[in-house]
Every structure is written in structure tokens, then in C-alpha cells.
Structure 1
Amino acid sequence: MNHWIDLFIEQIKETTWPQWLAVALGVTEVLLARVNNIWLYPAGILGTAISIYLLMDVHLYAESLLNGYYIVMSVYGWIYWIKKRNEPPVKITYSTKNEWMISIAISVIGWVVFYFLIKNLPAKYFTPSNVPVWDALVSSTAWAGMWLLARRKMENWIFLNISNFFAVPLLFYKKLPLFAMLTIFLFIIAIWGYFEWKKQVEQERLVVGD
């Protein structure tokens, strides 16, 4: 146990200021999202851009690509928020059988595709990754979770937390301890989000039942 604590302290001491800044912006984004503040988008975009640089530096290519997707979706969300902020939100629902199949397909096919890309492309242009299986898994399950989140489906929290679960040890291994701690924070937030959404669904059913 002491070995792991010492290792964590050593990694914290070696943490660079860009990682501190990226994590601070990530926490800011989550807190702003909690109160529905539009400034969550610029905070998220800047933090994610820094994260891409840091993840590329440690050869986590699939996660870098995933973060690139985050930026695109953040820009889209920012524009969509401005246009639709006065309209009622899409209702939260459970996934249908077809949506479950699509989510699993995104996870499995994405895992294979990301693995293939990581194993073949970086060798020509970048330093090869030594964790292609885990990097691909973290990203593919997150893609599935984001697809479900966009559709306001309860199960998005499940897929996102599968991604978070495997991301934590991967980030510690790559000596990104603050990113790992942020991911643990997001893991907890996702659990909280699941039960918050579940409560909203049950309340909606009661209203419809009345």
C-alpha cells in the first residue's frame, strides 16, 4: 500500500502545469454543466485541446481522437444551446432493444477499428502505443456512451462509466495522475447522474399515470 502511495506522490510531483490547467478546466466544465451555465463549453474546449496534446505525448492515440470528437461536439453543443436554450429539453428515456444493439456494436466495432488504427498508423507517423487494447476499449465505450447521451438515454451513464473504469488505471500507468483523479471524479458524477435521471423518469411516469 505504501508503495502505491509513494508512487502517486511521485507522479503528482512530476505533474506539469499543462496537466494542472487541463484538469482545472475539466472540473470547471463539470461544475458549470451542473448549473446549466453556457460557459461550460469554452472551458471544456480549452481543457480538451490541452488534453489532446498531453495524451498524444504519452501515445494514447485513441483517447486523443476521442477528445477531438469532444471538441467538435462541444462546438456543436455551444451553437445548439444558443439556438434552442428556451425550448424544452428532450425527455429522458430507457434504451430500446435496437439502441442497445447499436451501442454494443459501437463499442465492439469501435474497439476493433481503434485497435487496428493504433497498431498500424502510429508506426508510420508517431511513436507506437504499448497499450493499444486498453486505449481502444476506453475510447470505443465512451463513443457509445456519448451516442446515448445525445439521445438522452439512461444507459449512457453505464457505457461512460465502463470507459471511466478502465481509463483510471491506464492514466496512472501513463503517469497522468491528475487525469486519473479527474476520471474518478467523473465516475462518481456518472453514478450520481444515473440515479438523478432515473428519478426524473419515475416522476415523469407518475405524471403520465395521473
Structure 2
Amino acid sequence: MHSLLNLFIEQIRETTWVQWLAVVLGVAEVLLARVNNIWLYPAGILGTALSILLLMEAQLYAESLLNVYYIVMSVYGWIYWIKKRDQPSVKVTWSTKTEWIISLSISLGGWAVLYFLLRYFTPSNVPLWDAFVSSTAWAGMWLLARRKIENWIFLNISNLFAVPLLFYKKLPMFAALTIFLFIVACFGYFDWKRKAVKKDMRFET
């Protein structure tokens, strides 16, 4: 335990200002999203762009690609917010059997495809791990876009495996941010579950 603490302190000392800024912007994005503030998008886009540079340097290519998708979706979300902000949001629901099949296909199929690409076309030394973290996150984001409760499960599986990977790649602040996101996702799951139960109770009465 003492050696792990020393390793963490050593990695913190070696953390660059770019990584600190990316993490601060990531935290800001989450907090702004919680209060439904449109500034979450510019904070998220800038933080994610910095993250891509750092992840590429660490040879985490699948996570870099994942973050490119985050930027695309953030730009889309920003535009959609401006145009549709006064319209009601999509209701939170449980995934159907078909949606579960699609989600698992994205996770497992994406894992296999990304592993193949990373293994044979990049110098990555963690292709299996990097591919799994990204493929489960892809599935979680697909469910999130559809407002399905299970998105938090897939995202937290990704977060759980991402933490040791980021420490291994000497990105301690990103690992700390991922732990923070893991906790937020736990609260998100129970919050969405409560909303779905309330909706079901209204239909029953």
C-alpha cells in the first residue's frame, strides 16, 4: 500500500499543466451538466481535445478515437441544445431485449475489431485493455443517447477498467477524474432508476 501511495505521489509530481487543465475542464463539464448549463459543451470540447493529445502520447489509441467521438457528439449536443432547448426531453426507460443485444454486440464486436486494429496497426502495448475500455464506453454512450438506464452500467464497466490502465500509462489525474466519473455514474444510475420507477407507478395508477 505504501509503495502504491509513493507511486501515485511520484506520478502527480510528473503531471504536466496540460493534464491538469484537461482534468479541470472535465470536472467543470460534469458539474455544469448537473445544473443543466450550456457552458458544459465548450468546457467539454476543449478538455477532450487536450485529452486526445495526451492519450495519443501515451499510445492509448482506442481511447483517443473514443474522445474524437465525444467531441463530435458535444458539437452536435451544443447545436441541438440551442435549437431544441424548449422541447421536452426523451423519457428515461429500461433497455429492451433488442437494445441489450445491440449493446453487447457493440461491446464485444467493438472489442474484437479495436483489438485487431491496435494489435496489428499501432505500436500499442495494451491493445486488449485499451480496446475493451473503449468498446464498453461506446455501448454506454449509445444507450445514453437513447436515455436507457443501463448506459450507466456499461460506462462504469469502462471506467472500472480505465483507472488502472491510466495509472499504468502514468496519467494519474486522468485516473482520478475517471474515479470521479465512476462515482457520478453510480449516482446517475440510481437517479435514473428512481425516475423510471416513478413513471411506471404513474402508469399503474
TM-score bracket for this pair, using the shorter chain length:
over 0.9
Q: What is the CA–CA distance in structure 2 between the aligned matches of 1:113 and 1:17, rounded to whole Å?
A: 34
Q: CA separation in 2, counterparts of 1:203 and 1:110?
A: 34
- For 2:28, the aligned partner's letter is T
Deviation at 1:202, TM superposition (A): 1.1
Matched positions, count: 205
Which letter maps to 2:85?
Answer: R
Residue 32 of structure 2 aligns with an amino acid whose one-letter code is L
1:41 is aligned to 41
**Alpha-carbon distance in structure 1 between the residues aligned to 2:202 and 2:78:** 31
**TM-score normalised to structure 2 length:** 0.99
Q: How does 1:1-210 map to 2 (within 5 A)?
A: 1-122=1-122, 128-210=123-205
Unmatched tracts of structure 2, length 5 or more: none
Per-residue CA distance 1:136-175 (angstroms, 9 max, x = gap): 0000000000000000000000000000000000000000
Provide Cα deviations, 1:84-115, integer angstroms capped at 9, x if missing partner: 11001000000000100000000001001111
Q: Which residue of 2 aligns with 1:125?
A: none
Structure 1: any 5+ residue segments left out of the alignment? 123-127
Q: How big is the alpha-carbon RMSD for the aligned residues of Structure 1 and Structure 2?
A: 0.6
Q: Give the SS at the match of 1:146.
A: helix
Runs (4 or more) in structure 1 with deviation over 6 Å come to: none
Rounded to whole Å, the distance in 1 between the matches of 2:120 and 2:70 is 24
Alpha-carbon distance, 1:121 to partner = 2.1
Q: Deviations over 1:47-67 (max 9, x none)?
A: 000000000001000000000
Q: Alignment partner of 1:86: what SS?
A: coil
For the residues of structure 2 that align with 1:178 and 1:68, how far apart are their CA atoms?
A: 20
Give the TM-score normalised by structure 1. 0.97
The 1-side partners of 2:47 and 2:74 are apart by 11
For 1:200 and 1:145, the matched residues in 2 are separated by: 19
Residue 117 of structure 1: how far off its partner (Å)? 1.1
| Percent of residue pairs identical | 73
Work out the CA distance in 2 between the residues paired with 1:18 and 1:115. 28
